[in-house]
């Protein structure tokens, strides 16, 4: 540490301080306990949602004895499966400082293609799933092309495609649902359960968890994942570092489309049907899960696992409040408060850094 005065500027006149800087005191800002907490939350974005989840589990467990019953826990996981899957796709897009309002619509369109081709067109189940995947990829690619080529803000692009995809869904399905009985078992099996320590877990939940593991690996361990963070963090810096920003953005929307198609499969099993009206709440719920999960809407900061925690928090709150006998409107109120708290927390954490 140099005790030199900060006034000893060099000839450029631009330097704020001379001499060496003690990194530990500078970046950790340990002066106050609050500063320490802030730095911890900053370094581990999944920490705050993790704490919220644990606390809410304890509180709801105390309030309502039935909360920890096996069938209730099973119910929570099933309710989280679809939103949790959509949240993965949403996390990818939000990490690039974008937002995808069309996740629910893409999932619905994909689920209708899977269900209808398998039931009415008698396409083999596996092929129907592949067709659904292709629809998801194409829809994601459309978003990606509009964002990268026309340079439109993702919010506007996906607001447009949300309506386009919903209209296509209604056209394609004649506004009618396909019921589970008409759909091959392979497709609806995602709603079947098996027992883990007495708790019924659906295959859809397992697929979601596998997706989380795969995507968390990709985002933390591969160059592509790192480039997604870099693009969301600072596009120009990423470009100057030699990253093809548009290619990364396009691939993010395409990957999101693929994940949404898998979400469609899970949704068919969960609802035991494919309905053009299924996706309405899912858009906002997926964004809610991502935001509560500690991912910053400004991009470049957040984790895949945080979004699972976020989805679980929403699921636990809804379920716990219902068990406590409160009206649905209080669930909605609670989720709204959670969002505002999460975003405020993110702002507070970021403020330490500018």
Partner 1 sequence: MDSKGTQLTIAEDTRPGSTLPFTQPVLQAKRLVKTYGKVVGLDGVDLELFQGEVLAVIGDNGAGKSTLIKCLTGAEVPDTGELWLNGRRVQFRRPQDAKHFGIETVYQGLAVSPALDIASNLYLGREIRRRGFAGTVLRMMDTKLMRANAKRELDRLGISTLQDVTVAIENLSGGQRQAVAVARAAAFGSKVVILDEPTAALGVRESGQVLDLIRRLRDEGIPVILVSHNMPQVFEVADRIHIQRLGKRAAVITPTSHSMTDAVAIMTGASSG
Q: Does 19 bind partner 1 (CB under 8 A)?
A: yes
Q: Does 8 bind partner 1 (CB under 8 A)?
A: yes
Q: Does 270 bind partner 1 (CB under 8 A)?
A: no
The backbone torsions φ and ψ at residue 79, rounded to the nearest 5 degrees and listed phi first, read: -70, -25
C-alpha distances in angstroms, 196 versus 281, 285, 316?
Answer: 29, 27, 19
- The rounded distance, in Å, linking the Cα atoms of 280 and 182 is 24
Binding segment toward partner 1, per CB under 8 A, in 7-15, 48-56, 118-126, 140-148? 7-15
C-alpha distances in angstroms, 156 versus 101, 151, 169, 300?
Answer: 9, 11, 20, 20
Contact flags string 206-245 toward partner 1, x per CB under 8 A: -----------x---xxxx-xx-xx--xx-xxxxxxxxx-
CB closer to partner 1, 178 vs 238: 238
DSSP bridge pairs for 193: 202
Contact flags string 296-335 toward partner 1, x per CB under 8 A: ----xx----------------------------------
- To partner 1, the closest distance from the beta carbon of 17 in angstroms equals 6
Q: Does 31 bind partner 1 (CB under 8 A)?
A: no
- The rounded distance, in Å, linking the Cα atoms of 337 and 329 is 12
- The rounded distance, in Å, linking the Cα atoms of 67 and 115 is 34
- The rounded distance, in Å, linking the Cα atoms of 322 and 277 is 24
Q: Are 296 and 345 spatial neighbours (Cβ–Cβ below 8 Å)?
A: no
Binding segment toward partner 1, per CB under 8 A, in 12-20, 70-78, 122-130, 197-205? 12-20
Q: Does 36 bind partner 1 (CB under 8 A)?
A: no
Q: Does 17 bind partner 1 (CB under 8 A)?
A: yes
CB closer to partner 1, 193 vs 246: 246
Q: Does 194 bind partner 1 (CB under 8 A)?
A: no
- The rounded distance, in Å, linking the Cα atoms of 292 and 294 is 5
Under the rule (CB under 8 A), what is the footprint of partner 1?
8, 10-12, 14-23, 26-28, 43, 217, 221-224, 226-227, 229-230, 233-234, 236-244, 300-301, 353
């Amino acid at each position: 540490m140099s005790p030199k005065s900060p006034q000893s500027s060099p000839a450029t006149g631009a330097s704020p301080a001379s001499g060496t800087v003690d990194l530990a005191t500078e970046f950790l800002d340990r002066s106050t306990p609050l500063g320490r907490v802030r730095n911890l939350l900053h370094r581990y974005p999944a920490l705050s949602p993790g704490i919220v989840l644990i606390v809410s589990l304890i509180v709801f467990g105390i309030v309502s004895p039935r909360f920890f019953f096996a069938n209730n826990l099973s119910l929570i996981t099933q309710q989280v499966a679809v939103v949790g899957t959509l949240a993965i796709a949403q996390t990818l897009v939000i990490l690039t400082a974008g937002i995808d309002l069309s996740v629910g619509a893409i999932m619905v369109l994909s689920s209708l293609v899977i269900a209808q081709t398998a039931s009415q067109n008698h396409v083999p189940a596996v092929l129907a799933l592949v067709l659904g995947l292709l629809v998801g990829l194409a829809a994601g690619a459309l978003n990606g092309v509009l964002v990268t080529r026309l340079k439109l803000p993702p919010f506007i692009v996906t607001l447009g495609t949300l309506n386009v995809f919903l209209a296509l869904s209604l056209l394609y399905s004649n506004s009618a649902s396909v019921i589970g009985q008409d759909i091959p078992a392979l497709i609806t099996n995602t709603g079947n359960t098996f027992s883990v320590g007495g708790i019924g877990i659906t295959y859809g939940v397992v697929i979601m968890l596998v997706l989380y593991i795969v995507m968390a690996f990709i985002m933390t361990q591969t160059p592509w994942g790192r480039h997604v963070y870099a693009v969301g963090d600072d596009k120009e810096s990423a470009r100057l570092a030699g990253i093809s920003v548009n290619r990364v953005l396009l691939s993010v929307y395409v990957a999101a489309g693929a994940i949404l198609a898998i979400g469609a499969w899970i949704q068919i099993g969960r609802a035991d049907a494919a309905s053009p009206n299924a996706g309405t709440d899912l858009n906002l719920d997926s964004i809610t899960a991502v935001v509560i999960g500690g991912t910053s809407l400004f991009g470049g900061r957040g984790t895949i696992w945080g979004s699972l925690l976020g989805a679980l928090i929403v699921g636990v709150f809804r379920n716990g409040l219902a068990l406590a006998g409160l009206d649905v409107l209080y669930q909605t109120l609670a989720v709204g408060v959670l969002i505002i708290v999460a975003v405020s927390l993110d702002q507070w954490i970021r403020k330490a850094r500018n």
